[in-house]
Structure formats: C-alpha cells, structure tokens
Structure 1
Amino acid sequence: MSGGSHFLQIPGPTNVPDRVLRAISYPTIDHRGAEFADLGRAALDGLRSVVRTEGDVVLYPASGTGAWEAALVNTLSPGDRVLMFETGHFGTLWAGVAHDLGLEVTLVPGDWRSGPDPEELERRLREDTEHLIKAVAIVHNETSTGVTSRLPHLRAAMDRAHHPALLLVDTISSLGSVDYRHDEWGVDVTVGCSQKGLMLPPGLSFNAISPKAREAAHRASLNRSYWDWAPMLEAGTKGFFPYTPATNLLYGLKEAVAMLHEEGLDSVYARHRRHAEATRRAVGTWGFETQCRVPEEHSPVLTAVVMPDGQDADALRAAILSHFDISLGAGLSRLSGRVFRIGHLGSLNDAALLGTLAGVEAGLRVAGISHRSGGVTAALEYLADTATPS
C-alpha cells in the first residue's frame, strides 16, 4: 500500500472532516440530563437552518431508508395512491418501500438520464379530478445518475394543477450540497440523512415536517411505532428523544452545521457547482458522456460517467483503486458496469478534486481505455480561472 491518504470519492458516505471526528469523540453523556437537552435542541435547530424551515424536525438513529419509511407511514393510509418517478436506482427503491407498505404506487417511467418532467406532473395531477393521489414523492438528487430534479418547477406544476397532494422530497444526497428550501418550496416532508453533504458517518436520518403533513398524520392509518412522529415531536420540544439517541453523532451534527454556516450555505452550494463544472469539463475532454443529458439538471454532487461501448466501468474502478488508492462509485442496477461515478461533495477542496481527476485520467491510461488526454488540464484551467481566496 502506498503512502498518503485514501481518496474516498464515492457519492457518500463522504470524507468526515477532522473537526467532526473530534466532536464525535466527546464523552457520551446522560441522554436524559440537562446537558443533553442543550445538545438535542442545538442539533434540531441546526437541521432546521440547513433545511431552511421554521417547522418541525424529527431525527432518527437510522439510514436514509428509515426516513423514507417514516415519511410514508406518518402521512398515508393503506391503499392511498402515491405518484413517484423512475429517475434512477433510488427513485425506484423508494417506490418499492411504498409498495411494500401497502400503498398504491404509480411509478412514472423514466430514462434514468433526466429528472421528473414538470409538465407530466401537472398533466397527471389535473387528470386526477377525484384527488385519489395523496402524495407526490420526488428524489431531489438521484445519486445513481447524477441528475438533480428541478424542485421549484415541480412545486409550481403542483400549484398550477390546484391539487392537494402532499409533496415528499428525498434530499439524502443533496442536503448541505445543493440549494434546498423546505418552506419556500412548499415541501411537506423532507427526507434526509447524515453521511453525505452533512459530512457525518452514516447513522442519522430525519424528516422535516410541514403543518399540512402534521395534519395528515392525524388521519393516516398505516402501522407505525418506531417511526411515529408523535412521541418524537413531544420529546423534541425539550431537546430529548423517546429512546436512546445517537449521542455522539449529535455532537458531530452540531459541529458539521457550524462548519456549513461558517463557510455560508450559498458559498457551500457555489463550491459544489464549481467542482461539478470542473469535473464535467474533464469528462468532456476525455471524450466521454455524462449519464445526465439535461444541462440544467446536472448534479452538483456527483458526475456519472458513461463508459465507451465494450468497456467495463467496474474494471476501470478496480484499476484506479489498485494503482492510485481512489474509490469511485459503482454503477447501480441497470447501470452496473456501464457507468462510474465521481463524487464531489461534502468536505472537498480544489486540490483534492484535481487529485481525483488525475487519478481517473491515469487510470484510463493504465486500463488501456481509449480517451483524449487533457481532462485534468481542462479542470485545472477552469478552477484556476474561477479561484477566489479562501
């Protein structure tokens, strides 16, 4: 094994900053004591500030999949119809969770290269004159494809249709990396987790909840116990949880949110957009396509790169890991072996991104994959031309 640090450039879990690691290492405290109440309130308030909501937030020791389930079971009843979109691997998985819970899922087919079409959403809601559709569920950033859905346009489509459906949004890979506004965009339930833009290890997930969603929870009759919002909200008013919380991850969350605000959320989002553009310039110079085919939907979080015909993305990833100690994201389900994914989110600077792109370009050479050279130079020139003092 060569010296230096491993480059973890998958689209999450992301690199955990030293400040967050040190915070997580604080001694565990009594989760029913006054000191913990201060921590609990700070963690919930911090999440509100990143989600940009004045409303309720509940925080679970769980992966994002748990927050998916919580969003559904607290707002819906058996047989309710949910409109979902086949934007990629994770949009399809969320639809599977809804189906398993006994909901009637309408999954709008997709090409895995673009996000939900606002016009299609509006048309389907207008056709639903009996308001049988109780919720619309959208993945904000589809991690398998590198596509970011145009949420403000989708919200506007729902408003034009004058449809009362709830809007549920998965921000698992976007929160803390892509501009997001729960209240302003009229989102009813935001789903998120810790291990991506929030720069934490896996283990925390959450829902942000609108008043409309809280009202729906009083009528909803899907079975729920662990995921029930009611005891979470009651305990949360005092900074506590109805069960043993992930205390040390809450320390880390408090520190991570502080880091995001020190940089400034708008600056964080601009940094991610800039790194994404540099990455796409490298990919285009190499002569490859990105999986996302709609320019305004390119993800600031990751770039999914389509391999040339006859070439195996997993073999390339293995060569890059073996020779240059860089982990890249695999293609998922129908994209297995066809794409590799470069993560550029979380705690990342220009030098780390350039090192990653250099490893990819060198890996293409080692693997004998035909490409044009100069991708790293294209990214470097863009980053140098747009650099500002830190």
Structure 2
Amino acid sequence: MHALNPIFLPGPTNLPEALRRACDIPTMDHRSAAFGPILASAMAGVKQVLGLSEGEVAIFPATGTGGWEAAVTNTLRPGDKVLAARHGMFSRKWIDLCQRHGLDVEIVERPWGEGVPVEAFAAALAADTGHRIRAVLVTHNETATGVTSDVAAVRAAMTAAGHPALLMVDGVSSIGSIDFRMDAWGVDLAVTGSQKGFMLPAGLAIVGIGPKALAAMETSGLPRCFFDIRDMLGGNYPYTPPVGLINGLAVSTGLLLEEGMEAVRARHHRIAEGVRRAVAAWGMTTCAARPELCSDTVTAIVTPDGVDAGRIVRHAAEAYGVAFGGGLGEVADKVFRIGHLGLMSDVMALSGIATAEMAMTDLGLPVRLGSGVAAAQEHYRNSRTAPVRAAA
C-alpha cells in the first residue's frame, strides 16, 4: 500500500496527522500528575460523544472484542440468560464469546443482510415473565454486511414488555460516526474501539457504563481481572496505560466535538449515500436487505453470480495500492466492502469509487468507467448545504 493512498476499510480507518502527532509523545510517568488530566480529558470527551451524562467510562488496552468481554463479565453471573440475534460476523462472534463464558444465549437467527429483529425480541421479552433474560445484546452496526439496526426500537420493546434486562450495544463501527445516543436510547453498556470513528490506531477498548450497569456490577459473578471495570473507576489506571493512545483519544474527541456530532453524522450520511448511488450505477446491490438498513460507515457490495469478490479486493491492493474490505463468514467472496468512516471526505470517497471501478473493469466486470463516480459526484454537488470538513 502506498502511504499516501487513503484506505477504504471499515476499520482501522485513515489516521489524521493531528492524531498521529498526538499519539507520538515522549515516555511519561503514568503515576505522575501529568497523566491524570490526559485521562480525564479522554473520558470526558468520550462521554460527550456517547451522549452519556450519568455513568462512567472505562478505557482498556484492547480492541472491541475486549470491550465485549468487559461488558459481559462485569455485569452477568454464570449461567445467566441473554437474548441476541445472529445476523452477521460480529453478532456471531459476540454470541460465541458469551457462550464461552458459560452464558445461556437465546439466539434469534436472521439472514445476513437483515438487522436486529425487533418484533422477535419483543415477543421473547414478553414471554419471559420470570425475567430470566438478564441482558439483550444488539450489534448496532454489523460491519460484515453494512447493516445498521434500530437500538431505540429495541429499548422501546423492552420498555413495552416491562423487562428489566440490561441493554448492551456493540457500537464499534458506529460510535463517533453515526447517530448514537446512550442516555436517550436507554443503553446500559456501550462498547467501541479506538480504530474506527475515533480515527486512532487499534489498541483501546472503550466502554460506556450507565447507572443500571454500574449497579449490576455489585452482584456479577463471572471471573475477570484485566477487564475488571471496578479497578478502572475513580480515575486511577490499575496497570500501565497506553499513554500515547489515550492522549490521542483526548485529541480525537476534541476534533469530533469541534466539528459537532450532528455535522459528523451528516457528513457520514452524505458520503455513504454517494457510495450507494455509485453501487446502483454499477448495476449492483448492497448486502443490506432494505435501504433503511444501509450503514453510513460501510457499504457491502454484492458481486454478480460467479464473480469472486475477493479478486476485486486483491487486485485493487496489488494494482493501485488501495485497501477495500473483503467479505467475511457467510458472505466471504460474495461481497466487497467500501468503508467510509472516520477521516473521510467527498473527494476521498470519489477516489475510492474510481479505484473500485478500475479494479472491476480490469477484471472484466460489466462496469462502465466513470458511471459510479458521476452518480456520486451529482449527489455530493447537490447535497452540500455548507462547507463541511473531515477531521483534520
């Protein structure tokens, strides 16, 4: 990959120069007074991005998977029942993690390309009159299929059923990019990572903990040590922290909040819609089953029958030095993915669309050069209401 070429992965994402510099700081005594303000700034910024007013934030040296484990082990007990849908690679992985911890997972199966089945969840919660279900898991943005689910609707179903379960949300590829409102949606635990919407290198698992989840920690019984949230509370890091990454997180949240979260969401939606219009111009479809499910951070594009989508990804990397996402799990070799989150602008997106067109044309797909670019250009020209910049 050429260092000057943007990447179009759904994570890790492009690294702004300001954040690269923020992470590149001299060695610091993390027990000194100098580190406390850095950690406090990062945590305060994360709270604002999450929309969390009452509760805590824990920042672990890990990735989103570590955040899943922290959420589960800090609030649940051995044998507890959880409700989850399996509709993509990452919802599948979170279910697997729960099962490995001895939890009883009630699984609702859905086709890959569908979102969380709110009606099925509502029925399961209404039927659980004994309140055996202790947590409901939602993968907000299924990165493998480019599908965004309705978290607020899941909370509404829980409320309608009068169910006391915790609402746990995987927001790894949504938080910091698309609409996420922890307080307003009644999310008890939110998990994300540093390498996507926060535009940093991989290495931080970020967990937002609401008041109800904090209370559940008092009776939880699953083993944990490294991921014990209680040790993280009070502003003291229990072991050696990744100081540079945490400093980067403080700067990253500052950039997002300076742009304004509504503007960040609008930018991601505009860019994503341009990509979707390019896909339509190519005569292709998204993996998302319906338009309202389409993600604003990653588009999974279904290739024609008999076309190995992996060849497109490999050729783009070898011929043009540009990275796209390959298909995963059940959609391996059936889709390729264009990530459009974090440090991303209209112009950057156009370069990715153009590269995808060249790669597909090189491989003999019936794609006319410039067709997707023109469709995206038309959208970007006509949808811009004011100058919007990507985070610097």
TM-score, normalising length: structure 2: 0.96
Alpha-carbon deviations, 1:58-97, whole Å to 9, x = none?
1100011111000000111111001011120000000000
- 2: CA distance, partners of 1:107 / 1:195: 29
1:386 aligns with 2:386: no
1:232 aligns with 2:228: no
Equivalent in the alignment of 1:368:
364
The letter of the residue matching 2:25 is Y
Equivalent in the alignment of 1:173:
173
**1:27 Cα offset (Å):** 1.4
CA contact (8 A) 1:287 1:372 kept: no
Q: 1:298 aligns with which of 277, 291, 294?
A: 294
Equivalent in the alignment of 2:334:
338
> Runs in 1 of length 4+ with deviation above 6 angstroms?
none
Q: 2:316 aligns with which of 287, 303, 320?
A: 320
**Greater displacement, 13-22 / 115-124:** 115-124
CA contact (8 A) 1:326 1:359 kept: yes
- 2: CA distance, partners of 1:358 / 1:39: 40
**Secondary structure at 2:115's aligned position in 1?**
coil
Structure 1 pair 4–230 and aligned structure 2 pair: CA distance change class (3 A): closer
1:111 aligns with 2:111: yes
- 2: CA distance, partners of 1:306 / 1:166: 35
The letter of the residue matching 1:20 is L
Alpha-carbon deviations, 1:271-298, whole Å to 9, x = none?
0000110000000010001000122121
Equivalent in the alignment of 2:162:
162
Equivalent in the alignment of 1:16:
15
**1:215 Cα offset (Å):** 1.1
**Greater displacement, 316-325 / 97-106:** 316-325
**1:389 Cα offset (Å):** 2.2
**Secondary structure at 1:244's aligned position in 2?**
coil
Alpha-carbon deviations, 1:172-216, whole Å to 9, x = none?
110110111111111111111100000000000121111111111
- 2: CA distance, partners of 1:107 / 1:371: 40
**1:6 Cα offset (Å):** 2.4
CA contact (8 A) 2:112 2:330 kept: no
Equivalent pairs counted in the alignment come to: 385
Alpha-carbon deviations, 1:11-35, whole Å to 9, x = none?
0000110000011112121111111
**1:372 Cα offset (Å):** 4.7
- 1: CA distance, partners of 2:133 / 2:356: 45
CA contact (8 A) 1:203 1:249 kept: yes
**1:263 Cα offset (Å):** 0.9
Equivalent in the alignment of 1:25:
24
CA contact (8 A) 1:7 1:325 kept: no
Alignment of 1:45-56 (within 5 A): 45-54=44-53, 55-56=55-56
Structure 1 pair 389–206 and aligned structure 2 pair: CA distance change class (3 A): closer
The letter of the residue matching 1:340 is F
The letter of the residue matching 2:372 is G
Equivalent in the alignment of 1:308:
304
**1:50 Cα offset (Å):** 0.6
User: Percent of aligned positions with the same letter in both sequences?
Assistant: 43
Equivalent in the alignment of 1:183:
183
1:200 aligns with 2:200: yes
Alpha-carbon deviations, 1:287-322, whole Å to 9, x = none?
001000122121000100001000000111111122
- 2: CA distance, partners of 1:386 / 1:130: 50
Equivalent in the alignment of 2:6:
7
TM-score, normalising length: structure 1: 0.97
- 1: CA distance, partners of 2:311 / 2:60: 37
Equivalent in the alignment of 2:221:
221
Q: Which runs of 5+ in 1 are unaligned?
A: none
- 1: CA distance, partners of 2:320 / 2:336: 16
**1:166 Cα offset (Å):** 0.5
Equivalent in the alignment of 2:271:
275
- 2: CA distance, partners of 1:320 / 1:264: 34
The letter of the residue matching 1:376 is V
